[in-house]
Amino acid sequence: MAGLILFLMIVLLFSGMPVGFALGVAGMIGLFLVGGLDSVFSIFSAVPFRTAASYTLTTLPMFILMAEFVGASQIVDDIFNAAKRWMERLPGGLAIATILASAGMGAMSGSSTASAATMATIAVPQMRKHGYSERVATGVVTVSGTLAIMIPPSIAFVLYGIITETSIGKLLIAGIIPGILTTAMYSIGILLWNKFSPGVMPPPTRIYTWKDRWGSLRPLWAFIILASVVIGSMYVGLATPTEAAACGAFGALVIPLVLRRIPQSSFKKAVTGAIKVTTMIFTIIIGAMIFGYFLTLTQTTQNFISFLGKLALPPWLIMFFLVLLYLFLGCIMDQVAIILVTLPLVFPDSFNLVAIDDEMKRERVQPPD
């Protein structure tokens, strides 16, 4: 039964159905086959509201709104211009500048998708103009866009913390060092790429003076203030992640207004974009919760974990299979959907299976024998 529903979900995804609806429809059909219409009605009458009406989830729209305001105000342009001036003398300097700018964008957006999309419009044309091939330019932007999933404020960390009931503040702070190390390794990779494949990127340039370099740092005060408010307030315990996200969104609006860098049309576009992304994420969360109820009702997660335990596989082999699973899912699903779908397997308590089981009993939805 569970295998059939999983196959149905994959078919729906490949047919082009949005991820949230694919999860919800597959879970609804599974609930109907297992518990009948009473099961479907009892879950659908309560789950969507109970899932969305969460104070902790308000962190997500605030970080998303901050990212939209940052993109509309073109603060990232200042980061990219500064990185370009400081890295121009290195082989593949513009590619390294793109990586550093992506890290800066990740520190303000928290979304890999938003970071990659923003840097694609800024960095790719510049790299193509300076002689980089389309393959190198898009590859660098695509890979460096993933830095936002680690560098706080990471939306993925926020979502993980909400579902697993882990401290969101500690998760965000824990991502700082891995984010810096990954940024450094990507930059070193560019240098090694130039060393072992000469000519794949344009040679270094010496266009800018030291005055230009130091001058490029002046506009970054806005980014420094914004990052300090969001990360610093959580690190020293002055604000919860939700409060820090709200302050970040407010700062991302006020700073561009003071600098007169966000026209009215861009403001409306940013708000509309935040609403769209938030709606998409909440739809995925609700769909995943419905699918999670089906997994709990059929005891699929518990049986799968018991099966793995009986195999007595070494930890490295289990991690290897998990990596392959994430590689496959990354080809067809968004990061938010991947987290929600796989957490019941890699973090069995993430959907609070005991609480779900108790709630099903209250709703008179009994698991099958």
End-to-end CA distance of the chain: 14
Q: What is the DSSP string of 62-91?
A: HHHHHHHHHHHHTHHHHHHHHHHHHHTTST
What is the pLDDT tens value at each position of the chain, 369 positions in all? 777 887 888 888 888 888 888 888 888 888 888 878 877 887 777 778 877 777 777 777 888 888 788 777 777 777 777 888 888 788 888 888 888 888 887 777 677 777 777 778 778 888 888 788 888 888 888 888 888 888 877 888 888 887 777 887 788 888 888 889 999 999 898 888 888 887 778 877 777 787 888 888 787 777 777 777 777 777 777 777 778 888 888 888 887 777 777 777 778 888 888 888 888 888 888 888 888 778 777 777 667 777 777 777 788 888 888 888 888 877 777 777 788 777 777 775 554 444 444 444 454 444 444
**Torsion sign (Cα): 167, 171, 172, 174:** positive
Q: What is the pLDDT of residue 227?
A: 75
Q: What is the pLDDT of residue 355?
A: 45
pTM for the structure as a whole: 0.71
- Is the CB of residue 29 less than 8 Å from the CB of residue 8? yes
Q: What is the pLDDT of residue 121?
A: 76
CA distance 118 to 136: 17
Domain boundaries, the chain: 2-45+278-362, 56-262
Q: What is the pLDDT of residue 212?
A: 80
Q: What is the pLDDT of residue 349?
A: 57
Closest by Cα among 63, 61, 66 to 252:
66
Secondary structure letter of residue 347 according to DSSP: S
CA distance 80 to 68: 17
